[in-house]
Amino acid sequence: MTPDISPLRADATLTFDRPRTSFWAWCLQHDQLRDRLARRFAVPMLAAGITPPEREQAGEPRVLCLTRQHFIKDLAEMRARTRLNYWTLRSRHLGLVFSNFGPRKNLIQTFFRTDPSPAAQAAREAIDTASLRLLEIAVRKHNIRAVVTAQADYWQEEGIKNACSRLGIPFLVQSKEHYVSGWLQENRMKDLRGANYRFTGTAVALFGPMTVRTYVETNAFGPEHIHITGAPRLDVWREATPPAQRDCVTLLSFSKGYLVQGCYVDTLRAFARASASYASTRDERALPPVGFIVKCKNQEDKDAALAVLQDFPGHKLQVLTNVHMVDLLNRSRLVAGFNSLSVLESLLSGATICVPNWGDAVRDPFDLMLQPQDALTRQVVAFPESEHEMERQFLEAALAEPPAPDRGARMQLFRHYFHYPEAGSSSEEAEKFIRSYLK
């Protein structure tokens, strides 16, 4: 048996900016103790979670970033490429503490601010009071000049937004969400209209113009609120170099929430069979090791994939959650997926891109990010029309590296979805956006 592939890098952003050790930071990590103390000691607990960067730029403004899973990828690039001092506070901690301030049924994204119920009103008042005290500490103790978050309407951050208004501090959104299909846009617009949502922060920066329609047509945001910076997290590709040898075939999970469960199971089965076929012939033909990687979003997603794979005991798949996406995509010969921003990101790699196009994946173009009927899309994306064809694509990619892609066509398609500056970076454009509002 030939050696396995070298390990894929883990996603280091999952351990991003751990709060400094203190009694209150310790309380944040212990559910029962935190919940017992939350109403009385919310402010010192949350203040303990405000974390400085490892190195500060002397004389540069300090900005407090309310971090979430994907936003930290943007923030990592912004720190590496710009000079602002990005301090952090985990939005999750705000939610864990403030969830003790009112009934969970009232703590709903988008709808929390306009919920007319007495319970929601009482929760808003309590959260506003605690948030104002917290931000006053951040300003007085750390000289915070602005707050930046990843979404405009998180209930957890509504009090911080109001406190910014009270204190005259910019509340800025470097949005982590990007609505690049008609279905995503309409669903988001339905929520914004249903809640009669109106943005009361300072401004929002988006990954590309496709999301502008969602915000402006609902009157949730005025055009004056909106800037386009692109996605700072994608700046990492500007320095990414192709490996000497690509040694992975990758399936990006698309199970829960993608409306194509049948096609996902078909694709996973095809992937399992292809991995077993490659393993059976690898040593006979002196083939190099190739990893068959299923990239899942989380443990629940992984458990669902493993349940399907119980029917394929001979498979050679690695089912992973914590993987550095650029490392994975850059090392991939082929990437398969459906209706995800990660599939669009793979356009920046050299991998062949496959999007299944059979069964419940055959949908109205309104529902799709990548359009099978579009000539440019078909030039750079393959659309297998059966489980058998998908299996063949997987196996062929394992047997031989793909030819060099048409980089120009891929970038043209990518820029249809994302703003991607020709010069400079999205991180630099995000910094300009933030600095334009600093007083």
Residue 132: its pLDDT value, please?
98
Residue 402: its pLDDT value, please?
87
Residue 3: its pLDDT value, please?
47
pTM for the full model?
A: 0.92
How crowded is residue 117: how many other Cβ atoms within 10 Å of its Cβ?
A: 12
Residue 84: its pLDDT value, please?
98
Per residue of the chain (439 residues), what is the pLDDT tens digit?
344 788 888 876 656 666 666 788 788 888 888 888 888 999 999 999 999 999 999 999 999 999 998 899 999 999 999 999 999 999 999 999 999 999 999 999 999 999 999 999 999 999 999 999 999 999 999 999 999 999 999 999 999 999 999 999 999 999 999 999 999 999 999 999 999 999 999 999 999 999 999 999 999 999 999 999 999 999 999 998 888 889 999 999 998 778 899 999 999 999 999 999 999 988 778 889 999 999 999 999 999 999 999 999 999 999 999 999 999 999 999 999 999 999 999 999 999 999 999 999 999 999 999 999 999 999 999 999 999 999 999 999 999 988 889 999 999 999 999 999 999 999 999 999 999 999 8
Kindly state the tokens that stand for 51: 């974390």
Residue 2: its pLDDT value, please?
41
332-336 and 352-354 as β-strands: parallel, antiparallel, unpaired?
parallel
Domains of the chain, start order: 12-231+420-435 (3.40.50), 248-417 (3.40.50.2000)
CA dist., res. 347 & res. 335, Å (int): 10
Please report, to the nearest 10 degrees, the dihedral formed by the alpha carbons of residues 222, 125, 65, 198 taken in order: -10
Residue 4: its pLDDT value, please?
74
